[in-house]
A and B are shown apart, each in its own frame.
Chain A
């Protein structure tokens, strides 16, 4: 029997402040070399205050929230909208809550509402995952 039910909170994941180093490392590791995340001159020309975090970096943090909670082999789907830009020095916290247990093609699954937020409460990513818990 599982002790997971509607309302179960996932252990929150607080990340260190986003630095230029974080973005350089992620650009190299992910292969996403879009200059808007790496080159301040380019970002400013594009009308941004400075370089800003890859959305997919924050989504990877949400992935960590999920795989810290249940093994990755249980993850069935994972989606989010990028609702606000994550700037340098932002401190992002990922959190999630089970909203429903349901049968997914014969497998007991939890639907999990997930989000990433800045310290001031601004939501940067809002999404959902389906995790098998049977």
Chain B
């Protein structure tokens, strides 16, 4: 069973520079062709301050920390047994190319089902831009297959 005493743990926050090229590559990788996601003039014409990060891009910022998926180390998980169970985002602003986003996560909950065969790890993350505004929050549930 996973160590529930870790619930409440706050991971070390870190800053990520959101590069224009990275946003364009992300758009390409998911087949998004709307020019606002690759062309600054098109984005501004559409009323954005710059090229916006796509709705699920904040999750990619999680990957830019000093350690890949730090919850793996914290809970001593075997990555081969981890599945993504659910994901949510709440948007309070917009992330743009050129922003520096501070990513701050904590371990919100651990619970189990099926007599412990499946354990669930809930993480909460907030994304704050260089102006001190929280632009998005996220919650994700990881499913750990003990069986």
The interface of chain A, by Cβ under 8 A from chain B, is: 15-16, 22, 25-26, 28-36, 42, 45-47, 54-57, 59-61, 63-64, 66-68, 71-73, 75-82, 85
Contact = CB atoms under 8 A, between A and B. Distances in A.
A73 B48 CA distance: 8
A55 B87 contact: yes
B64 interface: yes
B32 A64 contact: yes
A36 B79 contact: yes
Contact of B55 (A29, A33, A36, A63): A63
Contacts of B68: 33
B46 interface: yes
B11 interface: no
Interface string B76-91: 0001111111111111
Given A30-B59, A66-B55, A57 B30 contact: yes
A25 B79 CA distance: 21
Contacts of B52: 72-73
B80 A77 contact: no
Given A26-B30, A30-B29, A66-B55, A75 B91 contact: yes
Given A76-B91, A81-B86, A46 B81 contact: yes
Closest 3 CB pairs of A and B: A79-B88, A31-B63, A29-B29
Nearest to B78: A46
13 contacts: A16-B31, A25-B29, A29-B25, A31-B60, A32-B60, A34-B82, A36-B79, A46-B80, A57-B30, A60-B54, A73-B47, A77-B90, A78-B88
